[in-house]
Structure 1
């Protein structure tokens, strides 16, 4: 895959809101087959498109990239056959790879994850202000006036701002889809009745934030939109820390703490690992990984050489 093809592929993945890792070789200590500037894309199922090293290096890049996709945090990976056991520098992961032919690779793993998506329902000034303010804040925002429209599968937030029109079905759909932040724009007087119409069990109804937003004394549609997005920022930060979110609904009086909403996972293969029985490397257990069935068990390998060695004499490697 040429650099142009690789970047076109990356653009297509971004447009389709598919998470991936862009792996770039930034340093190569000979002898290595990859050189600085070589790149590859690692997809959520572990597929690697491009080239950042031989089979053993590729296996390590796959495993570490899947871990990066889980956290969304980019990192610098050092793959070396001569790790000295010293703690890695901050921001770096060092993997001792005995399969390498003597060289060392430093590979930057850039997590490219979709922009958080906010789904707004309603045809009101506040709904339109949420689109404007949310977009300016860097969120991907969708606006719908159809109560039967499906909730986007990767929505971070759903805000119902229809002022009493078709609120219940959208609130129910968002809660049952386990969207992390669900908010209903309603006055303190109307909010309880509006939530009751959704006919949700008490534990699920408690997840809906209404009145929506932090109590900032908002009056204009733009101010209300700002208060809702401020609360969304607070909820997302609390979910990352797994701490309760303090609620403030009446001036400066603190309400009860609310547990953060469910953490919607990225659609990424869980980076389960196995140990290559030949070289001892940790490898990712993915559909695209090298494997072999023997004695009623699936064995995983970093490269074809290890798989061939195992197949020739399984007993020598514990098979």
Structure 2
């Protein structure tokens, strides 16, 4: 049987292979009494689904809400979850603090780290330059996109040295690639681009001749220049990794404890008349039911 941490690792491997964005949540500090221990971990998906263990239901609810914020902002976050009492717990400047009155005691800190898909590069052609790009790109953290179309490529390199290059450029632009590099001379590249029918904004995404001007001559050197240009665009040129639009996530406020709650199929809820209320856990739901019945 897989341990919780092993299961989380297996889930992460599957998500990375699919190019799915998620948040890795890891308990880095815990003060008894807590059910979570340092090292416990989980993954949080864009729809609020959690796979793994980072504490009881109330703590998990706080992690879920904060993780969605971290994923939206694409920034890591240290989440401090404290009970509604004066608990001596080391202060951490810059940490995101949540006071959860439903905690039975203790306090935990959870590091939330967004895991975004690596930029994918699709290389067209079987030339020496194409082969060299495929060899160099993974060395700088770029993934090679296959021809299945399952992932949108951040960059497309066209190194076919002939064929219908205009159509290849048009297809890459239409598919959403932010960088399209054509391996061709300046004169031939201009002739190819004239056949594409691209708008000015679309042409701004096409680089011809592809690659930084480093005086490259050999196929590996030209490939290095091309990969370098892609990296420069990623770091300073505004080139972004395409990500699937996250599903809409509904949040509510627990009417008992005031905690933010991500509404999902398993969220405790209670219907009273025409209103539906959502809760961080069964305890708050039951207390609210008693209040309505009194």
**TM-score computed with the length of structure 2 as normaliser:** 0.83
Name the stretch that deviates more: 117-126 or 196-205: 196-205
Residue of 262, 275, 279 corresponding to 1:284 = 262
- Superposed counterparts of 1:29-178, under 5 Å: 29-82=31-84, 89-90=93-94, 92-142=95-145, 149=147, 151-178=149-176
Indicate yes or no: 2:15 matched with 1:17.
no
Q: Is the CA contact (8 Å cut-off) linking 1:63 and 1:271 kept in structure 2? A: no
Task: State the SS of the aligned residue for 1:155.
Answer: coil
Q: Is the CA contact (8 Å cut-off) linking 1:46 and 1:269 kept in structure 2? A: no
Q: Is the CA contact (8 Å cut-off) linking 1:63 and 1:284 kept in structure 2? A: yes
Aligned partners of 2:47, 2:76: CA distance in 1, in Å? 18
Q: Is the CA contact (8 Å cut-off) linking 2:80 and 2:98 kept in structure 1? A: yes
Question: Number of residues paired by the alignment?
Answer: 289
Aligned partners of 1:237, 1:285: CA distance in 2, in Å? 36
Counterpart residue number, 2:3:
2
Counterpart residue number, 1:274:
252
- The 1:177–1:299 alpha-carbon spacing in structure 2 relative to 1, beyond 3 Å, is farther
Task: State the SS of the aligned residue for 1:32.
Answer: coil
Aligned partners of 2:229, 2:41: CA distance in 1, in Å? 39
Q: Is the CA contact (8 Å cut-off) linking 1:179 and 1:262 kept in structure 2? A: no
Aligned partners of 1:161, 1:209: CA distance in 2, in Å? 12
After superposition, the C-alpha distances for 1:66-89 in whole angstroms (9 at most, x for unaligned) are 2233344433221112599x9952
Q: Is the CA contact (8 Å cut-off) linking 1:66 and 1:269 kept in structure 2? A: no
Aligned partners of 1:108, 1:169: CA distance in 2, in Å? 46
Residue of 284, 298, 301 corresponding to 2:279 = 301
Aligned partners of 1:207, 1:49: CA distance in 2, in Å? 38
Q: Is the CA contact (8 Å cut-off) linking 1:174 and 1:182 kept in structure 2? A: yes
1:121: how far off? 0.9
What are structure 1's unaligned runs of at least 5 residues?
144-148, 239-244, 246-259
For the aligned residue pairs, the C-alpha RMSD in angstroms reads: 3.1
After superposition, the C-alpha distances for 1:204-226 in whole angstroms (9 at most, x for unaligned) are 22322222222222222222222
Task: State the SS of the aligned residue for 2:103.
Answer: coil
1:61: how far off? 0.8
Q: Is the CA contact (8 Å cut-off) linking 1:178 and 1:262 kept in structure 2? A: no
Aligned partners of 1:87, 1:190: CA distance in 2, in Å? 62
Q: Is the CA contact (8 Å cut-off) linking 1:79 and 1:106 kept in structure 2? A: yes
Q: Is the CA contact (8 Å cut-off) linking 1:45 and 1:288 kept in structure 2? A: no
- The 1:41–1:101 alpha-carbon spacing in structure 2 relative to 1, beyond 3 Å, is same
